Amino acid sequence: MEFLQGQSVETTVAVAVAVVAVAAGAGFILLRSKKPKGCLDAENFKEFKLVQKNQISHNVAKFKFALPTPTSVLGLPIGQHISCRFGHILVSFLIIVKTQSFDALIEKRALGRFKYQPGQVRAFGMIAGGSGITPMFQVTRAILENPNDSTKVHLIYANVTYDDILLQEELDTLAKNYPDRFKIYYVLNQPPTVWDGGVGFVSKDMIQSHCPAPAADIQILRCGPPPMNKAMAAHLDDIGYTKEMQFQF
């Protein structure tokens, strides 16, 4: 999902390349934010006109919505959530939703506990699965594109197949443009014949090899399906990351 017209730096960073898979006939999107700012309202839904839809894969589509005026900004904080209503259906999500996950998310409340401040840690380790890449991409882009932020980012991104990788072009571009500050390691459960990334599920060895070691000035972020989040929490505990070093979206 993208918003057109009047996209300030804040809006571009927060929304990034947002992708939503919903019914092809949806013409409008209604949004609500936890905190009122910009176009969003904490108490009331607002209507945004759908101006373009592109099918990215068999279960992911990219939607573009227009902001009210050329100078409007969305006002969505980095790494936080919004609530959406398509017609009479209320949906809460992290901006990216896959088709097969849609029904399960209809009644989920939006949460916005994560607040990022430049330089709050020396480095982030990020573990994402599927559409859980969304908050990671937002935070990573905000860090790397801020000339006053020297934070390093180490991302492990897991999917089932190569075609399931979301935002790959954008992620690879960031890795190419910021080689000293951003490292990404892809993991596939069903990799293609030629593949130089990880295979299977994210393991403790992968975390130890591709994330910063436990320390007071690092933080590990995780976002993925519930079984993955549970397994990653156990791995992180075993490795020695304290609860204060971990955050789950």
CA dist 64 → 17, 18, 28, 189 (Å):
10, 9, 10, 31
List helix spans (H) across the chain.
9-15, 133-144, 168-177, 204-210, 226-239
Nearest CA to 196 out of 207, 205, 187 is that of 187
CA dist 98 → 55, 68, 83, 106 (Å):
12, 27, 16, 13
User: How far is CA 180 from its chain centroid?
Assistant: 22
How many Å apart are CA 79 and CA 126, to the nearest integer?
A: 13
The enclosing H or E element of 90 equals: strand 89-93
What per-residue confidence (pLDDT) applies to 39? 74
Domains and CATH numbers, the chain: 2-105 (2.60.40), 123-248 (3.40.50.80)
Q: Which residues contact 81 (CB under 8 A, 6 or more apart)?
A: 34, 92, 93, 94, 95, 110, 111, 112
How many Å apart are CA 75 and CA 161, to the nearest integer?
A: 34
Q: pLDDT tens digits for the chain (249 residues)? A: 554 544 433 333 333 333 433 333 444 445 554 544 577 776 777 777 777 777 766 667 777 777 778 777 776 666 565 666 666 555 544 344 444 433 332 333 334 567 788 889 999 999 999 989 988 998 999 999 999 999 999 999 999 999 999 899 999 999 999 999 999 999 999 999 999 999 999 999 999 999 999 999 999 999 999 999 999 999 999 999 999 999 998
Place of tokens 């905190």: 35
Between vectors from CA 135 to CA 86 and to CA 213, what angle results, nearest 5°? Answer: 160
Beta-ladder partners of 92: 83
What per-residue confidence (pLDDT) applies to 81? 59
What per-residue confidence (pLDDT) applies to 75? 66
How many Å apart are CA 82 and CA 54, to the nearest integer?
A: 21
Which amino acid belongs to residue 247?
F
* Cβ–Cβ under 8 Å, residues 119 and 201: no
What per-residue confidence (pLDDT) applies to 88? 54
Place of tokens 């992968």: 206
* Cβ–Cβ under 8 Å, residues 107 and 69: no
Place of tokens 């591709």: 210
Buried b (16+ CB within 10 A) or exposed e, 21-39: bbeeeeeebbbbbbeeebb
What per-residue confidence (pLDDT) applies to 18? 39
Nearest CA to 96 out of 56, 125, 67, 127 is that of 56
